[in-house]
Amino acid sequence: MIDITIEKMSEKHIAELAEVEQQSFSRPWSYDGLKAELDNLSAVFFVAVADGKAVGYIGFHTVLDEAYIANIAVLPEYRRKGIASALLQCAIDFCKENGFAFITLEVRRSNINAVALYKKFAFEIVGERKNFYTAPTENAYIMTLYFGGPNQ
Ligand code: COA
């Protein structure tokens, strides 16, 4: 595991996170799109900082006691070092501490790396959205982790 710190997203991270987006998605969020989340009261974004720069992030939106993950991404050269796991654990801890009922997300069916990441944290496939993604068109799995069970 690489040495990282996890910080709440702030304006100083935005340019570097726009680069993470560029390198991670066919339809990346823009600088302005990320910046707008700073003013979104329902948004919770955590940033992983390594070697003095933002190398990954997780962002989710809250509605009452529900959390919807919008994105999680890590710069390619920093992958497979446990950074997404640390970010996801941070989001899960936040949800548990704040009494959330569940945390959920959509993921491309073909994104086996991300599906494996979520399964590692006990997310379950609870449904599928047809043609949810474009560029290329693809179905999404809906994956959800419920809190409040006997072992949670
Ligand atoms: N092959 C197989 N499993 C992988 C994998 C790969 N290349 N990358 C991640 N995983 C799974 C494994 O289960 C891994 O656990 P393990 O190391 O014990 O085997 C687990 O994810 C955690 O790995 P971690 O190192 O914490 O993940 P990461 O920091 O490399 O980030 C992603 C994982 C998915 C966020 C990263 O690959 C990424 O940014 N991808 C592009 C953006 C994306 O697809 N985001 C998801 C949108 S829903």
In CATH, what number is assigned to the domain containing residue 12?
A: 3.40.630.30
Angle of CA points 51, 55, 61, to nearest 5°: 140
What tokens were used for 54? 């933002």
Whether 95 is in a domain gets the answer yes
Ligand 1 midpoint to CA 79 (Å): 7
Annotated catalytic residue 118: yes
Work out how many domains the chain is built from and give that number. 1
Report whether pLDDT(39) > 90: yes
Percent of the chain with pLDDT over 70: 97
Whether 151 is in a domain gets the answer no
Whether 68 is in a domain gets the answer yes
Strands in 12-123 per DSSP E: 43-50, 53-63, 66-74, 102-108
Nearest CA to ligand 1 atom 43: 73
Which domain range does residue 76 map to? 5-146
Whether 152 is in a domain gets the answer no
Whether 128 is in a domain gets the answer yes
Report whether pLDDT(152) > 80: no
Whether 137 is in a domain gets the answer yes
pLDDT at 149 (0 to 100):
57
Nearest CA to ligand 1 atom 35: 73
pLDDT at 45 (0 to 100):
98
Whether 53 is in a domain gets the answer yes
pLDDT at 61 (0 to 100):
98
Ligand 1 shell residues, CB under 6 Å: 24, 72-74, 79-85, 107, 111, 113-114, 116-117, 120
Report whether pLDDT(12) > 90: yes
Best residue among 23, 55, 104, 117 to mutate for probing ligand 1's pocket (most ligand atoms within 8 Å of CB) is 117
Whether 89 is in a domain gets the answer yes
Positive or negative, the Cα torsion across 112, 27, 24, 29? negative
Best residue among 78, 79, 110 to mutate for probing ligand 1's pocket (most ligand atoms within 8 Å of CB) is 79
Report whether pLDDT(150) > 70: no
Q: What is the pTM of this model?
A: 0.96
pLDDT at 148 (0 to 100):
78
